[in-house]
Structure formats: C-alpha cells, structure tokens
Chain A
Amino acid sequence: MIIRKRLATGLCALLAALSAGLAFPDGAVADETTADVPKVNLVLDVSGSMRTRDIDGGTRMAAAKQAFNEVLDATPEEVRLGIRTLGANYPGDDRRTGCKDTAQLYPVGPLDRTEAKTAVATLTPTGWTPIGPALLKAADDLDGGTGSKRIVLISDGEDTCAPLDPCEVAREIAAKGIGLTIDTLGLVPNAKMRQQLSCIAEATGGTYTSVEHTDELTDRVNQLVDRAADPVVTPVATEGADACAKAPTLKSGLYTDREEFGRQRWYRVDVEPGQELRASVSVAADRAVNPSYGVLLRAVTVHGREIVRGEAAENGRTDVISTGLRYPKAETDEEDAPAETVCLQVTNSFSVASGVKTTPGLPLELTVDVVDGPSQAGDVASFGLGRGWWLLAALVVAGFLAGLLWGWLSRWRFAVWRTN
C-alpha cells in the first residue's frame, strides 16, 4: 500500500475491539499505531581517537555529548530513538575482541530524555572502530514495523576491522528491503574517511556530512531526526520476473525491487479500456558505477508487441536515473471488454569497474498508477478554435465576399422581378 492509513487502521482496530465486546480499545489503537512510527538509531563512535582535542577547543567526545544532549531535547515525540555505541568497552589490543565491541546504550523505543542523557554522560573514549558490525547490529535494533528507519552514524575514523567492508555491509542491509537509510557524519575527517563514510551513505540513499564544529553536528543530527519524523510513503517490496509470463501483477502503488547488472525485470499491470497506465521507474546507483549509464522501461503486450517506451541515458555523478511512460487504453463499444494485461520491462545499462561487487542488485523503485484515460485530442488546437491575425483576415475577407455576392444576387433578383 502506498498510503499509510493510521487513522483508518486505528478505527478498524477500535471497531474490532468494540464488536468483540472489549472494554479497552485504547491498547488496540496503540498497538496498531506503533506499527508505522519512525525509528532512528544513533550510532556513536566511542573509539580511543575521540579523545583528540580538535573541535572548538574541546575533545571530539565532548562535542558529541553536547550535540546528543541537544538532539535528545529536540527529538519529536513520535520518533522512537535508540543509541548504539561502537568501541566503547574494550580497551585492549586484541583485534578480534575489539572488532566485536558494539553495545546498545539506549534501546530503540519511547524516549526518556533524562535516562538517555545519563547514559550518554557515562561514555568515555576507549577502543576500536568496528563500523561494519555496529551497522549490522544497529539494523537489527530497528527491525520490525513499517515506518521509516534511519541510522545516523557518527564517527571520527575509518573502520579498523577489515576485511568486512562497511560499505558492503550497508548495501546488504539496504538489500534486505526494510526501507532503511544510513546517514553518516565524519568528525574532522580525512580523505579516506570521507570516502568510506560517503560510500556507506550512498549505498542506502543516505547523506554524508563533514563536521568541524559542535553546532554543525547538532544541526545536522537534528535535521536528520526531523527527516525521519516526516511521514513518507513506504514502498512495497516486490520481485519482478525475467519474463512476462512469470511476472507478478501489480496494482497502483509504489514498489521496490533489486535489479542486477545486465538483467531485466518484468511486471504485469491490468488496464481496463478507458483507463490510463502511468508507470515510472528509478534505478539507483548505490555503488561506484561507470560514468555512462541508462535505463529503459517498455510497455509490451502479452504477445510481445511494444506499445510505448520510456528511456533515459545520462553521464556523470548521479543518485538515480529514472524514466516513465503513459499508456492510455482506448475505450471500446464492446460490453464487458476484458482488461488488457500490459507487461512492463525494466532494463538498465549500469556497469561497474572490475572488483566492485555486483550483488545485491541495484535498488529499483517502481510507481504504478492506473487512472481514468485522457480525452483524446480531435484537433491540434483547443476545441479546434482559431487564433491570430491570419484567422481574422480570412474571416473578414470571406465575410466581405459573401456580403458582396449576396448583395449582387439580391440586386439581380430585384431586376428580374422588375422586368417581369
């Protein structure tokens, strides 16, 4: 479903509760409405390097704590907020233990500001920087519900736990189809760290920000938490087939899927006579892709004849490439004319340099709308009406000639009548 209907579902639950003779519908409503609340998990790097004093004269940790306090104060009521740390507990040198060091500081749930702040105050910079494992755990923390989910990762160093590439971890998380976005913030970043953090962000459609000052950190985290609170349509996960015959039939709505490089995806939509099919598709570049790419969306009949296509090709840096098409099906005079099955084929021409992983496929977003058909044009101009000086001149000349002719005719008729 494209549209989340909190109130409607709430009312249904209430009705169900009432009809069942239960006296406490409140609980039922609460249960229903918590399903789509936005969830945010703040992931904070508490590695040893956070001791460095280079943000506004204080340590990076002090800046993060101050920012967290302000963010906790400003968090909107409806947001379920959690805090996870990485590198907070193990001070030793053992890489294996250090790379498992991630803990839930405050569970994702209704926010108790005082409790959360107390928890943040206890943090001291300690250990390693296991970004990958922390992201995996953070995604698990957010599991469940249909609302928007967001991880905000604040780090001051690149991942120290290779070979697990946090970038690929992020892509795997996004490919689970739980609609999760990872935003990253780098504290006083160097070039390598910028690349890694922005790679993590791009893999999930998130954003990367460099932070040099405390107020920048506060503003940005606040902005991200507010973004999570904005109601947004959650797409429905679907899986297209490699041929039309096996394709899933879609109704109007917003869908996501994954499309591997060089593969095609097929979907089916039923269109009644007199209706118009509108479909648009976006394929996101969630990893480093080669600079020239494109996407093709074709509407094809079940017999393989192409009806209409949308195509787009582009060059250079991008987040998505998208195209769309319209197919108005003509009305028929036939009674009970059957709906036509239109096959939608999506292909892309993204390519990656060798060495870049090609699985999972690229995120694909598909919008399908079946609406009433347009009233066809019978003429180029609106209602076939005329416009302009040539029209006026033509009408005046024609009118004048008609007047002359009529005058001459009546004169002739008069003369004939006179003579007889």
Chain B
Amino acid sequence: MRITRVMSAALLALGLAAGPAAADSSPGPSQEGSAPTEAGTSFRTATEIEQGQQATANGSAGDYLYWSFPADAGQRPTVKATVKLPGTHAAETWRIDVYDGLRRRQACQWGAQTRTAAANAPSVELACVLRTVRAWSEPWANDPLPGTYYIRLTVVDLPTSDLGVRVGAEVRVDSEDMGGAAAVDGRLAEPLVPGAAMNSAADEDESGTSAVLSAIEPEDGWSSGWWSDRWVWTGIGGVLAALAGIAGYALTRGSGRPTRVPPGA
C-alpha cells in the first residue's frame, strides 16, 4: 500500500507536477486572526468557518452550537471539537453531529463523536472523520456531496444543577485530499449549499446587504470537477503500452531479414 502511494506520488510528480490537484486541500492557518468567536444556535444562524480555522465560542451548557464549513469533492474532512468545562460539574456527555447541505446527518467513520467528561474534568475532546466527499451520487444515496456542512455541538445528558453554566468551545475542521481514488463521474450543477437558487438570483441583483442561508465557498472556489490524477494514470498507461508494443515488435520482427536468407545476399 505504502509503495503504491509513493509510486503514485512519484508518477504524479513525473506526469503533471503542476496539475491543479497538486494544491493542498486544507489551507494553512493563515486566517487565524479573523477566526470566528461566536457560534450560531440553529442551522439558519450557523457561524461560517473555513477549513483550517480554529473557531471559538462561548455558550451555556445546554445550548446547541452550530457552525458550517465548506467541503469539496475529494476531501475527507475531520471535525475536531474541544469543550472547556467549568471548575465544578457532574459527569456529562458531549457530542458532535455533522449534517450536510440538505441537513442530512452524516456518519462519522471514526473518532470520538460522543465522549463523557468525568466529574470536574476541565475539558472534553471530540472528533469526527467524515466519509470522502464525492462529486456526484445517486439521489437515493446519502453520500457526502460538495457543499455546506453543519457541525452541531451539544451536551447529551445534563443534570439540572449544571444547566446554563458557562462553557467554552473550540472547533476546527481539516481535511485530507483523497486524490483520484475518489474521483467519480458526474457532477452537481451547484454545490449543496442551502439557498443556492436564491443566492444566484441575488448575484444577478447585486444587492448590497442581504442575508443568505449559506454563502460558503472554499478558499480557492469549488472545483470544476474535470481534473483528477486518473488522467495521469491513464496517460502514462498509454505511453507504457506504446513502449511495450515497440519492444514486442522489435523482439519478433528481429533484424528484418528471414533466417534462411544468407547474410550479404
């Protein structure tokens, strides 16, 4: 497996080093300064964050805190959350849920999606590794598609004595680029961004102050969907096949003279 990875990386580098897919999918923590310090309390008011940004928020135990982030085809996002709990509290269980742009709950492949903080524990850490986002899927499938993703952070069980006490939350989303292995055919005309139909209408109007359901977009825009390293693999395959063909031809054709014709004839 590792050899495959190394070799395919080498192939990629040999083939089209400057391919658009070579760009790292998870932007660095360049926007740390402007990271949001608030969280929304519903899908409608979810705070938009970028991938690679460390968003913080203050809330009360029992609040439902919402953030949203963009995820593009070929990415496998990982959501990490840390909840800072007050000095004294009873044992409580926290949980993160991730929903896609259609508000469908998305499964976590692995990661501690729920975790119980022992009594008086200072913090609890949660994580959720999503499935790889695909460019297209059948309408009957629940596959993650490019678009807005919502994170909901909340406490699952809370004794009344701890209801409403102040807690802090930190959320960060990073994603791994899964490359051509996840490149599927077909693509959506618009990413699964809620209110997409209204957003395009607003763009035409070019109105100044308008609230939209989700105006989210990855830093370098949504991928056009045509590029994948499958082009490199297929191209190199074709070249190798041609070379092998020449080799085979050279092998059987020999010098070009029949053996029974004496030399110099």
Contacts and interface: CB of A to CB of B under 8 A. Distances in A.
Interface in A311-363: 312, 314, 316-317, 319-320, 322-328
A395 B157 contact: no
A207 B63 contact: yes
B103 A323 contact: yes
Contacts of A374: 136, 186-189
Residue in A4, A326, A388 whose Cβ sees the most chain B Cβ within 10 Å? A326
A151 to B, nearest CB: 15
A372 interface: yes
A319 B45 CA distance: 14
B30 interface: no
Nearest to A274: B189
Given A208-B62, A282-B103, A3 B212 contact: yes
A6 B209 CA distance: 6
Complex A-B, nearest 4 residue pairs according to Cβ-Cβ distance, in ascending order:
A403-B248, A324-B102, A377-B186, A399-B241
B203 to A, nearest CB: 11
Interface of B: 4, 7, 38, 41-45, 58-60, 62-64, 99-105, 135-136, 139-140, 154-158, 160-161, 163-166, 180-181, 183-190, 192, 194-202, 205, 207-213, 225-226, 228-231, 233-234, 236-238, 240-254, 256, 258, 261
18 contacts: A5-B202, A6-B210, A8-B205, A198-B164, A208-B164, A209-B60, A234-B211, A276-B188, A319-B154, A322-B43, A326-B102, A367-B194, A382-B225, A388-B233, A399-B244, A403-B249, A404-B249, A411-B254
A398 B240 CA distance: 10
A316 B252 CA distance: 73
Given A254-B195, A382-B135, A231 B209 contact: yes
Given A319-B42, A410-B249, 7 more contacts: A226-B38, A254-B195, A278-B101, A278-B196, A386-B237, A396-B244, A407-B248
Contacts of A198: 62, 163-164
Given A7-B208, A411-B254, A372 B160 contact: no
A2 B185 contact: no
Q: Would you call the interface of chain A mostly helix, strand, loop, or mixed?
A: mixed
Given A278-B192, A374-B136, A400-B248, A385 B228 contact: yes
Contact of A5 (B44, B195, B210, B244): B210
B249 A407 contact: yes
A367 B213 contact: yes
A164 to B, nearest CB: 23
B74 to A, nearest CB: 10
Contact of A371 (B7, B104, B160, B197): B197
Nearest to A382: B183
Contacts of A396: 237, 240-241, 244
A403 B226 CA distance: 33
Interface stretch (A93-101, A121-129, A132-140, A189-197): A189-197
Contacts of A328: 139
Contact of A317 (B101, B154, B261): B154
Contact of B58 (A186, A223, A379): A223
A408 B211 contact: no
Contacts of A317: 154-158
A370 interface: yes
A280 to B, nearest CB: 4
B190 A371 contact: yes
A387 B230 contact: yes
Contacts of A8: 205, 207
Interface string A109-151: 0000000000000000000000000000000000000000000
Contacts of A322: 43, 99, 103-105
B245 A406 contact: yes
B21 to A, nearest CB: 11
Contacts of A408: 252-253
Given A233-B195, A308-B140, A322-B103, A4 B211 contact: yes
A231 B198 CA distance: 16
Given A7-B209, A219-B58, A399-B243, A406 B196 contact: no
A222 to B, nearest CB: 11
B103 A2 contact: no
A208 B166 contact: no
Best-buried of B7, B59, B103, B254 by chain A (most CB within 10 Å):
B103
